[in-house]
Every structure is written in C-alpha cells, then in structure tokens.
Amino acid sequence: MDTHPPDSPALAAGEDPTPGVGVDRRRFLAGAAAVAAGATATGAFLSQAQAEAALPDAKKVAAKGGNPADLEMHEAIALLWSRRLSSRELTKACLERIEERDGELTAWARVYADEAMAAAAAADRRLSLGTVLRYGPPSLVCGIPIGFKDIIAVGGKPLTAGSLALADNVAPSDSFAWERAKLHGMVLLGHTKTQEFASGNSPQTAGNPFDPTKSPGGSSNGSGSAVGGRTVPVALGTDSGGSLRRPASACNLTTIMGTYGRVSTRGIVTGNRASDHVGPLVRSAIDASLMFTVLAGRDPLDITTYAAPPPPTLYPVKPTGGAKPFRGMTFATTPNLPPIDTLAPGVRAVWERFLGEVVAMGATIVEKEMPPAPSVPGPSPESVLLHRDLFAAKGDLYSTANRTSVANNQANANNVTAIARYEAEIRRGQWVAGLQELFAGCDAIIQPCQVAETPKRGDGSLNESGDLGRFGPGTVRGIWNSTGFPSLSVPAGLSPETSMPVGAQISGLPWTDGKLLQIAINYQHNTDYHELQPERYAA
C-alpha cells in the first residue's frame, strides 16, 4: 500500500510527459475536473436542534464500546458532537484498521495518513469552537473520515482511474464532491481502487470483506471493500450502470444513486456523463441520507443540476411507522426483469424472504411488466473523447479487455450519425414516459439487486477480464441509469447457498430520493441485515 502519494505537480495545459507523444492531461480531465477560479461549493449547516434530532443517544452509543472504526457514521457523529470521541481518535482507528486489513482486501489505492491526521485535528478544533467560528456551527459530518473512488478528483492528488496509462496524472482541481466534503469538515483518508477507467470489462482490484477471494462488485469495488471491511465509515463511488448498487449488494452496504442532476458529477473521470452518478457507500440508510444531504444541491458549474428542485435541509434520518411502516403503501415487482427463474437459488431465497418482510411491514405487492429498454447506437461520445488522445499515446498500458473495447470504439466512432442518435433519444424519451406510467398506483418498484451469486475475484492482472458478466445481467441496475430515476440498494440478508450478502433494489420517480431513503430507513429499523459483519472480523 502506498501511503506516500507521488509529489509530481499537475501538468500545465498541453504539457507532455513523454517526448514526442501529444497527450494533454489537462484536456483529458477538462470535462471531469475543470473548476473556474473562485467557484465554491455551498451546503446547509444544521442548527443545534436539527443536529440533536438527527443523532442517536451518545451515551447508548458509547456504552457499546469497541473499536471506533466499527461505528456507523451517524454513531460516530453522536460521539464527536458529545466530545466522547475526537476526530483524531476516529481517524487513527481507521488508519490502523487499514494497516491491519488492507493487505488482503487491497481496497485502497493511496492513503494520505499524515494529511488525514492534520485534517482531523482541524476538525476537532472546529467542533470545539462550535458557533464561535465565523463560519457558523460545524457541519453534522465534521470530522468524519471518508474515502474517494480513484476517478473523483482531489486537487493536487493523483487521479489514475485505476490505469497505468494515468500513473503520473495529478488532478488540477477539486471535484464538486470534494468541495462539498471539505467544506463540511470531512477528513480525506485516501483514494480507493477502481477497475480501469471504471469499466466492468477491466481487472478486479479489491477483495470482498466477507470473503477476500470473491469480488466486492462493480467499478466502485474499492469503496465497497473499504467500507464493508470497516476501514472507513463512508466512501464515495460512482454509478453508470450499477457500480454503486452492485458493491452495496455484494458487501452488505447501503447506497443511493440519486435522481440524475441531484448530485453534481463535475470532477470525475467519466465515459458516459448522461448516465453517471456520484453517491455514498455506507453501512446504513441513515448514513446514506446524511451523506446525500451533504452532496445534493446545485453546482453553478454543472448544468445538469439546474433542473433539480431545492433539496431539503436534511433528508430523512429517523424511522417512521413503527412495525408497520409500509401500511398504505404499494410496491411493484417486475417478474420479467430480472426473470425470477434466472435468479441463483440463494439470491432467490433472499429475495422471496425480502418480499415477505415488506408485506409483513404493511406493504401491498403488485406485479408489473417492465418495458424493454431501447437500444443505444454505438459508444457514447464521452467515451470516445475520453480515450482518443490517451489511447493513441499509451494504449499499450491499458488492460487487455479495455484495450480491445476502446480500440473498437475508436474505430467505430464515426459510424453513428447524428440522426441515429437523435432517433435513439426520441425512443428513449418514449420509453421513459412509459416507465413513469408504470409507477401509477405504486410508491416504488422493488427488484433483486443481483441475479447471480457473488463471483470469484479476478487475479488483477492486465489480462484478466473483469467481473462485468460474472454477476449476471446488469440490466436490472442499468435500466435506472438510462432513465435518470433514483435507485438505492439495501442489505436483504445472506445467501443460504454461499453466506454472501445479497441486496434489494428500490427505485422511484424523479425527485423522490427522500421517499426512497425513508423506505430504506424504515426497512432497516425492522431488520438487522445491515448490521451483519463478516464472521472473520468478529471479536
């Protein structure tokens, strides 16, 4: 594990690290990390009353004892605010846990230990000063350690997107996500691993905390492994076709992929801006709601966020409805997606139990036919532009699977006409309208988050083929990226066949993010699957 990030400075526009090769790294990240001078993220800071209402009882949390690294995010917040725990103690516990467990998990690409401890000390000062600070009271998440997937920019830090072709790349500026997290006083532990360019076709890079020989799922696998392995309470990932929800399902975590435009994607290395999302991987729906509160809102430099209505000051953080929270609610299942008879036996057993549980909590279940998604002509323009110059210069450093895929995309980039893309967008609009009608009379659509059992972890070599197909068809997840509708995943228990986690997916209409989070919080209030830890880490 590299705990000392490279000190190479960001390259100036047009500067070329390899004589005779014209790769413009600044331009490579132009759509991903360019930030106008003086632009800053803004975020709501909660009042003392709001904060206290959002937190669990600090005395009860403290009475549990144990290692601070095992705390869920909201539990750690309660101890930080009550001064029963310092950010330095929490950060130190996480760093020690990384040293202890990451040898087999290999979830972290880079750890910024010294800087993290300095940031934790600053957070402790901020917490102790409280409202004396001219910036107002500290944020609810001040002092909480966080990890970032290695496609999310932190200015001045390496941004390699899991590729040897970007081994020397340094982010020239901050992503919106880091602007927000930094503004709120969070402590950056480091960057977590990702499959090369966040592509499921590329080598697997981390291990599953429940069994390190198995995949943690998706291109956000490092973030999933890091949080599931109790080395950090929250890590950010991205989701272009399931890469938040698949690691959440595989690692017994909770995540939310918000409505498209609710969270800015400025500052990420993306191959498909129209379907990419930034979101948190955490251990509970309450934590997902807290992080979504931090991330949600307008970014003046990202026009996709302009259509969103103003987010609430705080997304739901308390259960409602007691033992029957879903009384009066209707959830739709889609037996044709995925076809129930295609589910692995252990996955099907978990899914059927999940259905029984939500019915027992008061829900009515109806079945609806999911309309087939329209085809998309050719590679996305972002994917073509992302690799155009870099692949020409350093294609030999790409993994074998990605090298073949990118070469094909570059060769066929000009074969798709503007008319074909226009017609495809019309078909997509018609399809999305049909999906909106599917929600008539129901509050959410619920589906299994994965079809197959968690597969074996790849060997990580450049010739390894990745895990895109080994989890089974990803349509059940990717369909929601194509619509822009919000979708989340919650732990639904362990497969009786493999003892590996399986998640349930809950999706809704645009801007119902808060409603989905409340459903997840209520489900977890009446179940304890999200509290399951790998037996190998049990005290």
Per the document, the length of the chain is 539
> Which of 498, 450, 509 has its CA nearest to residue 224?
450
Count of alpha carbons within 13 Å of 438, Cβ hemisphere only? 24
The answer to whether residue 42 is domain-embedded is no
- φ/ψ of 521, rounded to 5, equals -60, -45
> Which of 504, 523, 491, 176 has its CA nearest to residue 316?
523
Taken in order 147, 489, 522, 524, is the CA torsion positive or negative?
negative
DSSP string, 126-187: HHHHGGGSTT-SPPTTTT-EEEEETTB--TTSB--TT-GGGTT-B-SS--HHHHHHHHTT-E
The domain in which residue 490 lies consists of 25-35+144-368+378-415+442-537
Are the beta carbons of 189 and 5 closer than 8 angstroms?
no
CB atoms within 10 A of CB 63: 8
Count of alpha carbons within 13 Å of 224, Cβ hemisphere only? 37
The answer to whether residue 266 is domain-embedded is yes
Residue 154: per-residue pLDDT: 98
The answer to whether residue 167 is domain-embedded is yes
What is the Cα–Cα distance from 537 to 222, expressed in whole angstroms? 18
Count of alpha carbons within 13 Å of 333, Cβ hemisphere only? 21
> Which of 293, 295, 298, 282 has its CA nearest to residue 317?
293
> Which of 169, 166, 161, 225 has its CA nearest to residue 196?
161
The answer to whether residue 461 is domain-embedded is yes
Could you tell me the strand order of the sheet in which 501-507 lies?
Answer: 108-111, 187-192, 145-149, 235-239, 277-282, 254-257, 487-494, 501-507, 444-448, 330-333, 364-367
The answer to whether residue 364 is domain-embedded is yes
pLDDT in tens, the chain (539 residues): 333 332 222 222 222 222 233 333 333 343 333 333 333 344 456 666 676 777 899 999 999 999 999 999 999 999 999 999 999 999 999 999 999 999 999 999 999 999 999 999 999 999 998 755 555 678 899 999 999 999 999 999 999 999 999 999 999 999 999 999 999 999 999 999 999 999 877 777 899 999 999 999 889 999 999 999 999 999 999 999 999 999 999 999 999 999 999 999 999 999 888 899 999 999 999 999 999 999 999 999 999 999 999 999 899 999 999 999 999 999 999 999 999 999 999 999 999 999 999 999 999 999 999 998 888 888 888 889 999 999 999 999 999 888 988 999 999 888 888 898 889 999 999 999 999 999 999 999 999 999 999 999 887 777 776 655 566 778 899 999 999 999 999 999 999 999 999 999 999 999 999 999 999 999 999 999 999 999 988 86
The answer to whether residue 310 is domain-embedded is yes
Calculate ∠ Cα 255-162-191, nearest 5°.
55
The answer to whether residue 1 is domain-embedded is no
**Neighbouring residues of 264: CB distance < 8 A, sequence distance ≥ 6:** 176, 177, 278, 298, 299, 301, 302, 304, 305
Kindly report whether the peptide bond that precedes residue 338 is cis, defined as omega within 30 degrees of 0.
yes
What is the Cα–Cα distance from 296 to 248, expressed in whole angstroms? 20
CATH number of the domain enclosing 407: 3.90.1300.10
**Neighbouring residues of 50: CB distance < 8 A, sequence distance ≥ 6:** 313, 314
**Neighbouring residues of 508: CB distance < 8 A, sequence distance ≥ 6:** 439, 443, 444, 445, 485, 486, 487, 515, 516
The total of structural domains in the chain comes to 1
What is the Cα–Cα distance from 298 to 306, expressed in whole angstroms? 6
The answer to whether residue 5 is domain-embedded is no
DSSP state of 188: E
